[in-house]
Amino acid sequence: MPKFSANISMLFNEEVFFHRFKKAAENGFEAVEIQFPYMFDKSLILEKLEENNLKLVLHNLPSGNNQKDKGIACNPNRKNEFQDSVGIAIEYAKYLNCKQLNCLSGIPENNNQKNITLETLISNLQFAADKLEQEKIKLLIEPINHYDMPGFFLNNSSQAKTVISSVRSKNLFLQYDIYHMQIMEGNIIETIKSNLNLIKHIQFADNPGRHEPGTGELNFPYIFSQLDQIGYKGWVGAEYYPFSNSEKSLDWFKMNK
């Protein structure tokens, strides 16, 4: 079975943030991911990771005003801010021994400047990929469905693949979120197979609702078994909103341990 990580920005949210590490470990997880750790003291995060024998396998770059921006990498008026954010992300990742960072492309400020938006994204990703490579940290980008996040610049794996091929770096990869891509393109297993060389992290939630496996239309026992069969070696992150509560949502995990 795949290696599963718990996204504690969404799971175990019945608890205050620093109690979620213990909950993840008590329920059998060996790794966690955090969307945006920057509001927390990194020394306290490290303390909780070590205390509970957990790895931090992924966090995002800072995304500006997350409620509004959803990332700033594609916005030409914020290149300096983006470059500063890369430095902040590296500081956290090195301190927490996190080897992969995810970059949200963001929502364009001007929909009439698509070429400039794309050029800005490519330039910023080039900068970030090079900086992270110096620290032996992988950079990932993630397409997100345009229903949950209207206007988001990257919406499917084909777009992300085109961007990756436009950046002159061997340190830029794809984060594939099964929930988002089921909405945007379907054909989950074949798409993962065809992009296996680029995919370094997978996240999941069922659809509709973005809840745990078994609450929607996706056949997760088949998906998880296929990830093994096709040779995917990375982490698979549980990034969903529990339908009732977190511990009751983990039947899928108990069956795949």
Nearest to 207, CA basis, from 173, 237, 178, 245: 178
Q: Which residues are catalytic?
A: 142, 239
Nearest to 188, CA basis, from 167, 153, 216, 152: 216
Give the pLDDT of residue 65: 78
- Low pLDDT (below 70) residues in the chain: 66-67
Q: Are strands 138-141 and 100-103 parallel, antiparallel or unpaired?
A: parallel
Query: What are the structural domains of the chain?
Result: 3-16+33-255 (3.20.20.150)
Distance CA 227, CA 198 (A): 14
Per-residue HEC secondary structure of 109-144 comes to CCCCCHHHHHHHHHHHHHHHHHHHHHCCCEEEECCC
Over the stretch 213-231, which tens digit does the pLDDT of each residue have?
999 999 999 999 999 999 9
Give the pLDDT of residue 211: 99
Share of the chain above pLDDT 70, in %: 99
